[in-house]
Chains A and B, each alone.
Chain A
Amino acid sequence: MLLEVEDLHVEFRTRDGVARVLNGVSYRVSAGETLAVLGESGSGKSVTAHAIMGILDTPPAFVTRGSVRFHGEELLSASAERRRSVRAEGVAMIFQDALSALNPVFTVGFQIEEQLRVRRGMSRAEARARAIELLDLVRIPAARQRVREYPHQFSGGMRQRAMIAMSLALDPEVLIADEPTTALDVTVQAQIMDLLAEIQRERQMGLVLITHDLGVVAEVADRIVVMYAGRIVEQADTVSLFRSPGHPYTAALMRSLPRLDSKGTALETIRGLPPSLLRIPSGCPFHPRCPRAEDVCVSDVPGAVRLGFGRTSACHFAEEVVGGFGG
């Protein structure tokens, strides 16, 4: 298996107390597969990615339990040097807001080339040539000129393309894309998603696509994990998840999507707010907002229920939910 996360626990030790940000997250990605990680802000999608990369802010963030394996090799206990060598070369990452994620005082070319010079020992000229190739690959027009420009001289979409080019510099096997289109115009979003999907297909990379946008997920993902309050509440292949969600939270998310076949009716919303991670509700963390919660949901934490076809759902009533009795 290319990349495996197992039972990952992360907590933020803050002045207000310990926030349990991840409470046993497990997922796996194989080569050529696109895994979408879906959830609201604060559900732990990005923290999981940072933990995989080993770029958590410590303190306040601490990994307290779990395992991150790349080609079966445990990364969490690996040396700092080994972890560094996996970054960008094994697992690369692109971030949501390319304007703040790129360094404002260096040219786009410099930021692509420095990895090649530092990690691959290329000369300046070789690295420059490779940077131009990469910008061409992500279809930035006039790459030869633009390689000398600064991030603020790029448009939002071009900046995100430049970031993708940067992440591909060392030919990673896994690419983690953290909300790569959230900061972009809708028209540009589609172009960036197409580009990512195409690159993923050509290179047979594992792609972890972090998003809160169900629409994005539907088009490109092979499998989906849905996160809530630092847990994975459901995981399934894209087709069956959209056909019949196996967790009340997923079901509620879908009902809050605008649909072509239900014009004129008000959109549903999920009542309440995501829980504070300092005080996660007992039992199933979703129970205060769940339309079908019963006593058992308040007292017992649901385990992952197998639903067939490799699906799981962390709900006491998973079978009923997926069976279409609603959530």
Chain B
Amino acid sequence: MGRYVLRRLLQMVPVFVGTTFLIYALVWAVPGDPFEGKCGERDCPDAYVAMMRDRFNLDDPLLLQYWKYLVNLVQGDFGVTSSGVQVVDRIVTAFPVTLKLALVALLIEAVIGITAGVVSGLRNRGFLDSLVLVSTLFLISIPVFVTGYVVQLVFGLQLGWIAPTVTTPSFGNLIVPGFVLASLSMAYVARLSRASIAENRRADYVRTALAKGLPTRRVVGVHLLRNSLIPVITFLGTDLGAFLGGAIVTEGIFNVPGVGGLVFRSILTKDGAMVTGVVTVLVLVYLLMTLLVDLLYAVLDPRIRYD
């Protein structure tokens, strides 16, 4: 296991360099001077543009620029934006909000998705089964921005049950955005657990557990669930990785000050330092989440060994 983790961590280095280089090149090597539009109606003074080009090493060849960026990055220096804000400061304020939103969404997705899936998987072809199939199909068909605006309009404005936008990102305030963010994956989790339960329900080891005279709730709750939830839990892990990358649409609709919004605004304002900084963090988080999910697999299924 230790060797496997080490190998995986080493594999991350080229992936990390590759992805960050790609982002860096996409942001800084596009045609047009990134500082020409920064001074409102007038053209920026030559002195300002020259200073900025110097600060961001834009006169160096691309590879050298990237090398300098990478060297700073490894030392923990994410650089400053064109307006002089420390990139790392903004990430540190935005990331916890995204983390909270992601955890809320994950919890909702797991609890509702798994419950619906298990219940319908156990009663193949009943009313509940059809209900779950139809409602998940419905959720899968609707884009998140529709769900988001409808929920905001109905519960926020017409019924007034919730504040239409998130003012302070507490767990309570993030429930509704979390629900919207989770809705699509929740449907997938429900269908995945349903299929998994239905498939394993007639497995030989379930029959053995019955033959041992165990109570039904133990046969289902221990033997059937433990096996059926392996694919579901790994799906949830990957999904958490995706949530942590920020939810541009959901955060935008509910005005959640998270990473997704930060990236979005930085792209609009052509704030290259911020975009590369945030995306670099997201790449790291995603790589680590993927590793965690793979390790989780081995924990859940003893047949999987990594050495």
Contacts and interface: CB of A to CB of B under 8 A. Distances in A.
Contacts of B202: 57
A98 B163 CA distance: 58
A105 B218 contact: no
Interface in A13-70: 50, 53, 55, 57
Interface in B170-217: 202-205, 207-215
A256 interface: no
Interface string A285-312: 0000000000000000000000000000
B302 A88 contact: no
Contact of A152 (B210, B300, B303): B303
A97 B205 CA distance: 10
The interface residues of chain B, by DSSP majority, are classed as helix
B209 A103 contact: yes
Interface in A107-143: 114-115, 118-119
Chain A residues touching B, range? 20 to 34
Interface in B106-141: none
B302 A95 contact: no
Contacts of B226: 103, 105-106
A53 B212 contact: no
B65 to A, nearest CB: 51
B223 interface: yes
A104 B214 contact: no
Contacts of B213: 84-89, 115, 119, 170
A101 interface: yes
Given A57-B202, A118-B218, A104 B303 contact: yes
Given A100-B203, A103-B227, A118 B209 contact: no
A118 B303 contact: no
Contact of B302 (A87, A115, A152, A166): A152
Nearest to A88: B213
B208 A104 contact: no
Given A104-B302, A105-B301, A53 B204 contact: no
29 contacts: A53-B210, A55-B210, A55-B211, A84-B213, A84-B215, A85-B213, A88-B211, A88-B212, A95-B204, A95-B211, A97-B204, A101-B207, A101-B208, A103-B209, A104-B205, A105-B226, A105-B300, A105-B301, A105-B302, A106-B226, A114-B212, A114-B214, A114-B218, A114-B222, A115-B212, A115-B214, A118-B218, A119-B213, A170-B213
Interface of B: 202-205, 207-215, 218, 222-223, 226-227, 230, 300-303
Interface of A: 50, 53, 55, 57, 84-89, 92-93, 95, 97, 100-106, 114-115, 118-119, 150, 152, 166, 170
